[in-house]
Amino acid sequence: MEHRVLMLIFVLAAGILLLFMGKNKPEITVEDVLKVRHEGERVEVFGIAKPYKLRCTQLACMERPCCNSCGGGLSIADNRSQIQIIGTIEGKEAACKGDECGQECWPLAMGKKYAVSGILERRGGELALRMESFREAGG
């Protein structure tokens, strides 16, 4: 009997420890957020950093390739959906810029997987994520 009680306590303690370490927390995708989350909710979403609504100048680059300037917002995306990341980090607005041959994004590196936490807001009829924190998620 005493052995069973000790085993039960051990299993419960291990479960609580895993919960606090985040091991049981499923990765929420951008698609999940856009389907079932609402403005004002705090979320942590996993995805790949990408430009959002990138726009480029339309110069005819005859002599020099990549002469058009490009700029746009920053997003986090999965295979089907993307959500704009908004907010200021270290005094700089979250955004992407470059030319038609390549862009750099701030503060997330384009193409890397992240977990981004923040509060959902409406921007031009679409949900956007006001970033509070982020971390590389690997993968």
DSSP code for 4 = H
Question: pTM for the whole thing?
Answer: 0.76
Which tokens in the block code for residue 99? 């030319």
Q: What is the rounded CA–CA span in Å between residue 110 and residue 126? A: 22
pLDDT of residue 19: 47
Domain ranges of the chain: 26-136
- Which residues partner with 76 through β-bridges? 49, 83
User: Mind listing the pLDDT tens digit for each residue in 14-35?
Assistant: 545 444 554 455 788 999 989 8
Per the CATH hierarchy, to which homologous superfamily does domain 26-136 belong?
A: Nucleic acid-binding proteins (2.40.50.140)
User: Mind listing the pLDDT tens digit for each residue in 39-64?
Assistant: 999 999 999 999 999 999 988 877 77
